[in-house]
Amino acid sequence: MTALAADRVSQALARPESLPALPLAHWDELVRQARQSDLLARLAAVLDEKGVLEKIPSAPRAHLEAARVSALAQKETVVREVAHIRKALRTAGVEIVLLKGAAYVLGDLPAAHGRLFSDIDILVPKPALPDVESALMLSGWAGTHHDPYDQRYYRQWMHELPPLQHIERRTVIDVHHAILPETARLKPDAGKLLAASRALPGEAGLRILAPTDMVLHSATHLFHNEELSHGLRDLSDLDILLRHFSRQAGFWCELCERAAELDLRMPLHYGLRYAQRILDTPVPPEAMREASPKGRPESFTRWMDGLWLRALRPAHPSAALPFGSSARHLLFLRAHWLRMPPHLLAYHLAVKAARATHRDEKR
């Protein structure tokens, strides 16, 4: 029998101090798993913060340094891009709330260290959407999804505009008016998120979510996402946010209360459970208990553990557990189930399937 595949990335992130002693053959797997998971630069940042980066053997250290160079360049791009967005929206007179990666960078949070970015996410009040969209278009952002069905999908059902891409810089912005689709089962009130958001000192017109809301958004995003190839990266964001904000007295209590207020106890439960299971995030037992769904049978929790603990492995063959891809498929369906009521879901999946067949025929 072969040894069970090891998730080297989670082990490394949870216990970075042990890495200088890691055998080279394990580094061989760790670097590949971390690269596939978009966590190589994050690992470098964590090792640097612990002061052990210099003690890593030179061959794997070169890959860590290389990943840091890319991540740093991306971070500078994000800062420049946010400046462009702010300039474009000045005339619209709308304050914008930065979400996820951009918020971590501009808010100078440790979750920005070694993070890679694909696009910029912002949150604005729903009534401001038309003004924001036209202001961005006047400054060179153009719609990417021109199909009438896609337009309807985004504008009627989703929580964001179709992604806008800048015609020269090719950067993409997602303009959100909520953190979950209009059609989702959970209904967190975006007004409450905006009301509690914090102004960024020295950055007029820019805001970020309150600490509790930032954690809840991170968990909500991960545990409603149909695409989990970066699931472990998102869980690592959550781990770092929790470790950082929980140094503030009363944080856990506030977090649980806010989750109840925003209808987000389910994603918080999963977030705390798997961050602790996978990345050793120090979550106090009271908070864990408080976030647990009441009256849910133990067997269901164990079944979900079986799915999530597989799906949140690094997306690399050397880390895959048996039935890992089945788990991802089931969670893909679950995410759709949570995002849309059954009749809409059936319609949406039928349109997607028909289009895929049509594309194959054309090819």
Q: Which residues bind another protein (CB under 8 A)?
A: 23-25, 27-28, 31-32, 35-36, 57, 59-60, 62-63, 65-67, 69-70, 72-73, 76, 316-317
CB nearer another protein, residue 27 or residue 252: 27
CB of 8 to another protein, least distance (A): 13
Q: Residue 173: left (phi > 0), alpha (psi -120 to 50), or beta? A: beta
Sheet containing 198-199: give its strands across.
Answer: 141-143, 164-166, 172-176, 120-123, 96-99, 206-208, 198-199
CB nearer another protein, residue 70 or residue 357: 70
CB nearer another protein, residue 221 or residue 316: 316
Cβ proximity of 278 and 13 under 8 Å: no
Burial class of 191 by CB neighbour count within 10 A (0 to 12, 13 to 18, 19+): exposed
CB nearer another protein, residue 62 or residue 333: 62
What sign results for the dihedral spanned by CA atoms 73, 74, 77, 82?
Answer: negative
Distance CA 76, CA 298 (A): 46
Residue 237 makes CB contacts below 8 A (sequence gap 6+) with: 100, 104, 111, 115, 218
Cβ-based neighbour number of residue 106 at 10 Å: 20
Structure tokens at 289: 């208990």
CB nearer another protein, residue 55 or residue 90: 55
Q: Specify the residue for token string 């949570």.
A: 338
CB of 230 to another protein, least distance (A): 15
CB of 154 to another protein, least distance (A): 30
Cβ proximity of 39 and 9 under 8 Å: yes
Distance CA 158, CA 152 (A): 9
CB of 32 to another protein, least distance (A): 6
CB of 72 to another protein, least distance (A): 7
Which residue type, as a one-letter code, is found at position 8?
Answer: R
CB nearer another protein, residue 66 or residue 345: 66
CB nearer another protein, residue 8 or residue 265: 8
CB of 70 to another protein, least distance (A): 6
CB of 69 to another protein, least distance (A): 4
